Structure 1
Amino acid sequence: MTLISRGYCHLCHDMEVAIKPLAEEFGAQVTIVDVDANPDLEARYDELVPVLLHGETELCHYFLDEAKTREYLSGIR
């Protein structure tokens, strides 16, 4: 999974903390990408961060949707 984030965003930090136990449970890797370091990502996700992706699939933004993310991860096992 990819967490589109920015350094000064408290929602981003909250989602990073919230996704860790779920990622561990499913054996998933979470890569954190700074939206401000990539103009294409910034143009696409600027006001939506944090955004949790799996490939091109957007799982949630602003807050972790644990139920949706859990259901999605269960389906790709």
Structure 2
Amino acid sequence: METTRITLIGKPGCHLCDDARAVVVRVAEDLGVGWTELDITQDRELAEQYWEQIPVTLVDGHRHDFWRVDEARLRAALSV
């Protein structure tokens, strides 16, 4: 059973978010973990918290990376 461990926070039209999504999808599929994506344009609280940092990735609910997703670092965090 797949458990959601990665959350990607971004917004439509963000090229860095597109790049981050590609890494997240690849890693999640390889490791068999679930992921979800949240749109800051749909959530005022997320927008206030993360507007200048998107894309932001969370692992198990804790901030992991922002602006760019380092694939090796994400894999390492998920192997714990």
Q: Shared topology, TM-score over 0.5?
A: yes
Within 5 Å, give how 1:1-77 maps onto structure 2.
Answer: 1-75=6-80
Gaps of 5+ in 2: 1-5
Do the aligned partners of 2:7 and 2:61 also contact (CA within 8 Å) in 1? no
Greater percentage in helix: 1
C-alpha RMSD of matched pairs (Å): 1.0
Gaps of 5+ in 1: none
- TM-score of the aligned structures, taking structure 2 as reference length: 0.86
Shift of 1:50: 0.3
Between the aligned residues of both structures, percent identity stands at: 33
Shift of 1:64: 0.8
Do the aligned partners of 1:48 and 1:62 also contact (CA within 8 Å) in 2? yes
Greater percentage in strand: 2
Shift of 1:11: 0.3
- TM-score of the aligned structures, taking structure 1 as reference length: 0.89
Q: Which amino acid aligns with 1:14?
A: D
